[in-house]
Amino acid sequence: MTRVHQILPLALVLAAGTACGRKPAPKAAEAEHAHEEAAIPVEAMRGIRLLEVAEARTGARWMPGEAQGDEAAQAVLSCPVKGIVSRLVAIPGQARRAGEVLAVVQSPELARLKAEWIAAKSRLTRARADLAREERLFQAGAGARRDLETVRAEAETAEAGEEAARLSLEAVGLPPSEAGASFPLRAPSAGSLVAWKVQRGQGVEAGQELGAFQAARASIVKVEVPQPGPVDWAPGAETEVRQAGGRTWRARLEGTPTALTADTRRLAYRLRFLGGPLPIPGTPVEVKVPLDKGIYLPQSALQQMEGRWGVFVVSGGQAAFRPVTRGADIQAEVLILDGLKPGETVVAEGAYLLKARHQKQAEPEGEGGHGH
C-alpha cells in the first residue's frame, strides 16, 4: 500500500504536465476566414434574401459632365472703330448662329467714313460724266486733246479716291451699302457668348476687347470621377456621351486626368466630341465611364461595422460578417474589388437585420446581450 501511495502523486504530476503541454488544433474554417466575425444562424430568419456571387465582370457608369468650349476655339470680340456701346443683344451662354448681331456700337468715326465714301462716290460720278462729254466732243472734232487728257486724269483721281473710301469701310468689316452711324458686332461663327467685358453706354476705343466668343463646333466635355479612376481608361479611348432628351455623341479621351484637390479626391477627365451637331458650351451631359473588373452586389448587401464595409457570407446555414474592398456605386449596385469569390453566398437583402443581431450579441450580458 505504501508503494502505491508513493507512485500515485508522481502519476498525477505527469498527467497534469502532459495536459498543460497540449494545444487544441485550430479548425480549418477558422484559419481560412479568421477575419470573419461570429456566425449567426439564418435558416429561420425572415426578411432576408440570399444571393450567389456571380463571376467578376466589367461595367460602366453614367456620370454627370459638362460640355465646354475648347480654349483654342475662343475668339476675342472687338470693335474696329471708336464709339459708344448702345446695345448688348447677346446673353452669355446663349446660342448664336454665325453672323447674328451680338452688340451695337454707335460710332461717329464710322459715320465719318461713310460720309467720305459718299462724297468720293459723288466726285467719281461727276468725273465720269465729264469724261464721257469730253470724249464725245473730241470724237466730233469740237474738243481739244489736252482738255480730254485733263478730264481723264481727274476721273482716275476720283476713282482712286472712291476706292480708298470704300476700302476704309471694308476694313472695319462693313460694305459701303450697309455702313452707317452704328457698327453691328456679329458672331464670327456658330457658338455662344462667353462673357461681356463692357456695359451699355460705355465708350470704347478701336480694337478694345469687348468680350469673348466660343465656337460651338470645337466643344469638349469634362467629367469628374472619384479617385483612383478607371485603370484602363487611357488617352485615345472612345466612349458615349448623352444629353437629356435622347441626343448622343461619341467622344475621345484626351490627355491624362488632373487631380482637382486633395480634399475632393476626384479626377477631372477631358474628352473631345467626335462630329455631329454639338451642344453649346455649358450644356449638362452624362459620360459613360468604364469601371474596373470586379464583382457587383446590390447596395443593400453592404453594411458598415466598426468602420469597415463588408457583407454577410453564408455557409452551412450560418452568416458571418466579412470585410470587403468597396469600389464605386453604380446605380443600385456596388463594385466589390476584393474580399469575395464567385460561387460564395451572401445576404443580398435584409443584411441590416444581421447587423442588428450581431451588435446585440456583442453587448455584455448585463446590457441585454448574450455575451461571449
303-316: per-residue pLDDT in tens? 998 889 999 999 88
Provide the residue ranges of all domains of the chain, joining segments of one domain with +.
26-58+295-367, 61-71+216-292, 109-178
Residue-level pLDDT at 10: 35
Q: Provide the terminal-to-terminal Cα distance of the chain, rounded to the nearest Å.
A: 48
- Give the CATH number of domain 26-58+295-367; options: 3.20.20.140, 2.40.420.20, 1.10.3720.10, 3.40.1190.20: 2.40.420.20
Q: Which residues, given as ranges, of the chain have pLDDT below 50?
A: 1-35, 371-372
Residue-level pLDDT at 307: 87
Residue-level pLDDT at 372: 45
- Give the CATH number of domain 61-71+216-292; options: 3.30.160.250, 2.60.40.10, 2.60.40.1930, 2.40.30.170: 2.40.30.170
Reported as a single tens digit per residue, the pLDDT across 92-110 is 877 788 899 999 999 888 8
Please count the residues of the chain: 372
Residue-level pLDDT at 25: 45
Residue-level pLDDT at 101: 93
Count the helix, strand and coil residues of the chain and give each as a percent rounded to the nearest 5.
30, 40, 35
Q: Which residues touch 311 (CB under 8 Å, ≥6 apart)?
A: 297, 301, 302, 303, 321, 322, 324, 336, 339, 340, 346, 347, 351
51 with 345: CB under 8 angstroms?
yes
Residue-level pLDDT at 34: 44
Residue-level pLDDT at 26: 44
Residue-level pLDDT at 31: 42
pTM score > 0.85 for this model? no
The answer to whether domain 26-58+295-367 and domain 61-71+216-292 are alike in fold is: no
Q: What CATH number has the domain spanning 109-178?
A: 1.10.287
Residue-level pLDDT at 96: 86
Residue-level pLDDT at 367: 52
